[in-house]
Amino acid sequence: MERSSESMPLSLKHLTFRYRIREQPAIHELTFDLQPGELLLVAGASGCGKTTLMRCINGLIPRSYRGELEGDIFLFGRDARGLPMSELSQTVGTLLQDPERQIVGSFVLNEVAFGLENLGLPRDEILKRVDETLDYLGILHLRDRETFGLSGGEKQKVALAGVLAMQPRILLLDEPLASLDPASAQEALALFRKLADEGVSIMLVEHRVEDALHIGPDTVLFMDDGEQIYYGPPDGLMGIVDYHKVKLPAPVVLERARHDPPPTFSPHLKAVAGEERQPLVVFEDVHFRYDRVLPDVLHGINFTIHKGDVVAVLGPNGAGKTTLVKHALGLLKPTQGQVFLEAKSTRDITVAQAAQTIGYVFQSPTQMLFAPTVEEELSFGPRNLRYDEDCIRQNVDRALDVVNMAGYRDSPPLALSFGQQKRISIAAVLAMRSRILMMDEPTAGQDYWNYVAFMDAILQMPGFDAVIFITHDVDLAVTYANRVVLIHDGRIAAQGPPEDVMQDYELLRSCRVVPTSLLDLNLKYLPQTGRFTRAEILAHQVVP
């Protein structure tokens, strides 16, 4: 029995939108419905129109983003374009990709209460809703914390609390897993499923398709280049999607890749052995705390980064991963112990001096980007290092090619999507040609094709002595790392080759790292291959 459009939470008919500054439509002829209590997964490569679709639904288009809008958007039978933003915001809640863009309050309590205060609710009702929402999300202990001091994952949960406290009937989630550790991502997905089962209509935009499929979305919408390619049950997605663009479960990729030509790349830094494998960064009994009245964040850290290392730093939100990596650059100094960069204590060198050796990509691109155009952004670092103009131009061109952003040279960085900003922040560091590259969550907000492309290119670029990346993406560590450092509660729980560290599933789960289908496959075929790699390569290396 068909539902009437009046009872349908969301109904789109032939929706098309073209940004004023673009020649081609960002989305074209989208037609679908979102039922009461339905969880709709929206998948597709970066730039396919997913964020534009959300902006049309929550009213940012055409109010904040100008262009040509055609077609119909109905919310519970009413034309969304005729509703005031105050009413729209109570019907449609939106969780942005980057929590830095959404959080405005100095303290968690103020942040979650912000929307409710704007609705003019009584103080007692506001406090009741805040506490209930924080408790529902399992983060009531953060209630009186400063938002500035939260980890990226904690900020994402607080931003979600601010949305849920408004009790929207439709929830739009834009890459909600991007900043979450694997276990937190599973918990968040289970929460979204629970909310849908309780009657909230949810549109989940997510690159981590395999993770999202585990909670049984009711429907999947797959988009490519602004077009609606597939709309139907999840089972029908596997044969439609290009596995090079969207990361599917590893067994599916393994089977499909067997019928395709084998990949021609080898995504690893050039092997270094013997005397050439000298230490670059050394941590000796490092302890750290942000304030003398607070407990230590790092406890007795000892490890060394050698030339030729590709190190993946894994661990839960708030474990101290970012704090650890910032010590290598001297952005933080140990409260006890020493960090040495090429045999010099970071206490004795400036951050500017360290930056000549280490390039650091922050977790949030908005902490790095400031210039009016992408080209000026990428030129800033090399110019401060006194590179000549020809060298700067060559470095900028190459960095933009690596991250597939050459067409955005004249665009304002802060006007780009979160995923595009992330790639620009990586390109800004690549343009400096540092010998050690450190990246905090490099694949956050990235579709599979883009992150594989730039990671492959980075590891094949000459000049890098070592690459270190913090990640919640277990498959990124499986595919690229030759060493894994597992952090838990500010301590190193394990370190070594991924083939050794990642065999211990009990240890991984105790550190909130969740094994994936790609890890399962690699361990199954490890006696044949001798090392971890991606499913497309495994397909041509192993006998089924």
Q: Could you tell me the two tokens for 174?
A: 């834009």
Residues 61 and 209 in one domain: yes
CATH number of the domain where residue 205 is located = 3.40.50.300
CA-to-CA separations, 405 to 30, 225, 475, 496, in angstroms, rounded: 26, 16, 24, 34
Q: Are residues 229 and 90 in the same domain?
A: yes
CA dist 367 → 75, 425, 498 (Å): 36, 9, 31
Q: 320 near 298, Cβ under 8 Å?
A: yes
What is the pLDDT at residue 210? 87
pTM of the model as a whole: 0.82
> Is residue 84 domain-shared with residue 219, that is, in the same domain?
yes
Give how many domains the chain has, as a whole number. 2
pLDDT at position 46 is 79
Percent of the chain predicted with pLDDT > 90: 53
Please write the tens of the pLDDT for every residue from 264-312: 766 566 656 666 678 999 999 999 998 877 788 999 999 999 998 999 9
pLDDT at 72: 94
The domain boundary, picked from 224, 241, 258, lies at 241
The number of CA neighbours under 13 Å toward the Cβ of 539 is 17
d(CA 157, CA 169): 19
- pLDDT given for residue 3 in this prediction: 44
For residue 4, being part of any structural domain is answered with: no
| pLDDT (0 to 100) of residue 276 | 65
Look at residue 274 and tell me if it is in a domain. Answer: no
Query: Residue 335: what pLDDT?
Result: 94
Single residue among 213, 241, 269 that ends a domain in this structure:
241
Tell me if 514 is assigned to some domain.
no
| Same domain, residue pair 371 and 231 | no
- Using the 3D structure, point to which of 432, 448, 467 is the last residue of a domain: 432
Whether 259 maps to a domain, the answer reads: no
In b/e form, how buried is each residue of 26-38, taking b as 16+ CB within 10 angstroms? bbbebebbbbbeb
Sheet holding 298-306, edge to edge: 298-306, 279-288, 336-341, 344-345
Residue of 175, 213, 182, 217 whose CA lies nearest to 196: 217
Percent of the chain with pLDDT over 70: 97
14-67 per-position pLDDT tens digit: 999 999 878 889 999 999 999 999 999 999 887 788 989 999 999 998 888 889
The verdict on residue 136 lying in a domain is yes
Q: What are φ and ψ of residue 522, in 5° steps? A: -65, -40
Please report whether residue 61 resides in a domain: yes
pLDDT value, residue 464: 84
**What 8-state DSSP symbol labels residue 160?**
H
Q: How far apart are CA 20 and CA 364, in angstroms?
A: 28
Residue 228, in any domain of the structure: yes
pLDDT the model gives residue 477? 94
Nearest Cα residue to 149 out of 317, 314, 387, 305: 317
pLDDT of residue 240: 85
Low-confidence ranges of the chain (pLDDT < 50): 1-5
φ and ψ at residue 287, rounded to 5 degrees: -120, 150
Examine residue 37 and state whether it is found in any structural domain, yes or no: yes
Query: Domain range spanning residue 412?
Result: 366-432
Give me the pLDDT at residue 366, please: 81
- Residue identified by tokens 């400036």 is 350
Q: What is the pLDDT of residue 347?
A: 93
Position 272 scores a pLDDT of: 63
Nearest of 140, 4, 141, 20 to residue 74 by alpha carbon:
4
